Structure 1
Amino acid sequence: MRFKGLDLNLLVAFDVLMETRSVSRAAEQLHLSQPAMSAALGRLRDYFGDNLLVLQGKRMLPTAYAETLMPMVQDTLRHIDAMINTSTSFDPATSQRIFRLIASDYITAAVIAPLSRRLAKIAPNIQLETVLPSDGSSDLIAQGAFDLLITPENFINPGQPAELLCEERHVVVGWNRNPLFSETLTEDALMAASHVGMQMGNQRTSAFADKMMDQMGKVRRLDVMAASFTVVPWLIIETNRLALMHERLARQLATMFPIAIAPIPFDFPMMREMMQYNRTRGNDEGLRWLREQLRIDSKLP
């Protein structure tokens, strides 16, 4: 299909070429031959009257004009994608849609995993793709590259819509033979114990619970720092270490590992876990359905 002489399929090629900055990798991503991808780049150059990508050393870099085009092309593709995915007749039983989500291993284990088991029965052809949050997660939602970002409220982008998934209580977890769990856990005992903390991403961002403890002036001895929530059982079993963990995840892990759970022995703020999506997806019936399904599986048993 052409619009004012431009083959609209070339916009997809342009987007992938700018992302990969490589003809061979773009060809692989679009399932084309390298000569076909080179031809697409040639047609883009002819249409726009610019080299778009130039070889510098062993790397291909976008020209200044290509940098100017990139946000406009990405915005156009986002709106086309939203138009295609906006339907009043979304049927999960027959849909073959792929939903792309950014979610921590905590959300994946506690919410997405139960959902995936239900989807096998109620929506067998729907696929879920998940990646861990990163420093650029909000940008990926703003670009329309992913359908949903599931993250604590303080990490959302105020420029895009977001809805509450659930409120999460935190608890204390430890090895079920840790003597601290043989009686009511006190604040003094909690603060005197060795702890496992959590830092995520390249910038080593503290998890919600650790950040709240710092803000409350609760200074603990953090002897181990983990990069994901689901590795915590291996770091506390057969030790006297403790960790603060989301109640949903703690309950699931307690069915698989010898860990004990106790309430935090002082008032602790609830975490609001949010679902954020691009504003162009506001009328996306499939995405609305997915958000409702996630809410179902976020409920505590």
Structure 2
Amino acid sequence: MRFKGLDLNLLVAFDALMTTRSVSRSAERLNLSQPAMSAALSRLRDYFGDDLLMLQGKRMHPTPFADELMPQVRESLLGLEVMLSRSPNFDPATSQRSFKVVTSDYVFASLIAPLVAQLTEEAPGIRIDCGLPQPSTVQELEEGKIDIMITPEYVIGGHHLSYVLYMEPQVVAAWSGNPAIAGGTITEEAFFAAGHVAVVLGGGATLSYADRQLELMGRNRRIEATVAIFTAVPWLLEGTNRLAVMHARLATQLAGRFALSTAPMPFEIPAMRQMLSYHPGRKDDAGMTWLRSRIEAIARASA
């Protein structure tokens, strides 16, 4: 299909080229041959009268015009995607849609896993693709490559719609045989005297909510071990006297699978505001509205 002389398929090729900055990787992404992708770039250059991508060293770099054009192209492609996915009579029982959700492993365990279990019966054709947050996640959400992002408030950014999905208290978690947590309580002195397991996100670039709050309070705990995902913490608690600060929902869920005990924090830490974010262009998408409502219902039920 052409619009004002432009083959609209070339916009998809342009998006891939700008994302990968590589003709060969763009070809792989779109399941095309490398000569076909090279031809697409040549046609784009002819149409816009600009080089668009220039080879500098071993990498291609966009021209100023291509940088200016990119947001408009991505917004147009997203608009088309939303238009084609909409249905005034969205029926989850018969829909074959796929949704991409990006969130932590903790939210996956407490919300997304129960959601997928429910969909087996009520929406067997719907597919949920899950991913962990990456440095590019916010940009991908803005480009419409991600449907829903669920993260703490301090992580979100960019120009998308967000709201509080739920408030999450923090608790102290320990092996059930740890004497420091006997009786379901722990003192502040015992908390800071103990060794801890901490979660370090993004290759160490992002503090977990608990450590961010402790840093703001000017308090440091003694870290004996770190892990990259929240669900790995219990493995380093069992059989030891270590402690961990854990999201209350996750602690409740994991207590049934590990020999864990929990106690309230011995000092005040504000509850974490867990945010659900999505692209403004999908505000009126019936399928997205349905998916958000299902996630919200599970969040309320597990509170």
TM beyond 0.5: yes
Displacement over 6 Å in runs of 4+: none
Give the corresponding residue for 1:115: 115
After superposition, the Cα gap between the structure-2 partners of 1:141 and 1:26, relative to the gap in structure 1 and judged at 3 Å, is same
1:204-223 to 2 correspondences below 5 Å: 204-223=205-224
Structure-1 separation of matches of 2:248 and 2:125: 31
> 1:140 Cα deviation (Å)?
2.2
Q: Is the 1:161–1:278 contact (alpha carbons within 8 Å) kept by the matching residues of 2?
A: yes
SS in 2 for 1:87: coil
User: Structure 1, residues 30-50: CA drift from partner, whole Å, max 9, x if none?
Assistant: 122223222222221221122
Q: Is the 1:98–1:127 contact (alpha carbons within 8 Å) kept by the matching residues of 2?
A: yes
Give the corresponding residue for 1:255: 256
Q: Is the 2:139–2:158 contact (alpha carbons within 8 Å) kept by the matching residues of 1?
A: no
1:1-301 to 2 correspondences below 5 Å: 1-157=1-157, 159-183=159-183, 184-202=185-203, 204-298=205-299, 299-300=301-302
Q: Match of 2:249, as an amino acid?
A: R
Structure-1 separation of matches of 2:143 and 2:177: 48
> 1:164 Cα deviation (Å)?
2.1
SS in 1 for 2:220: coil
Q: Is the 1:135–1:203 contact (alpha carbons within 8 Å) kept by the matching residues of 2?
A: no
Structure-2 separation of matches of 1:89 and 1:209: 43
Q: Which moved more, 1:37-46 or 1:268-277?
A: 37-46
Q: Match of 1:247, as an amino acid?
A: A
How many residue pairs match? The answer is 301
Identity %: 50
Structure-1 separation of matches of 2:234 and 2:119: 28
SS in 2 for 1:96: coil
Structure-2 separation of matches of 1:29 and 1:53: 18
CA RMSD in angstroms comes to 1.9
> 1:257 Cα deviation (Å)?
1.8
> 1:209 Cα deviation (Å)?
1.5
Structure-2 separation of matches of 1:20 and 1:139: 14
> 1:203 Cα deviation (Å)?
5.7
**TM-score when scaled to structure 2?**
0.92
Q: Is the 1:196–1:222 contact (alpha carbons within 8 Å) kept by the matching residues of 2?
A: yes
User: Structure 1, residues 142-161: CA drift from partner, whole Å, max 9, x if none?
Assistant: 22221111011222226421
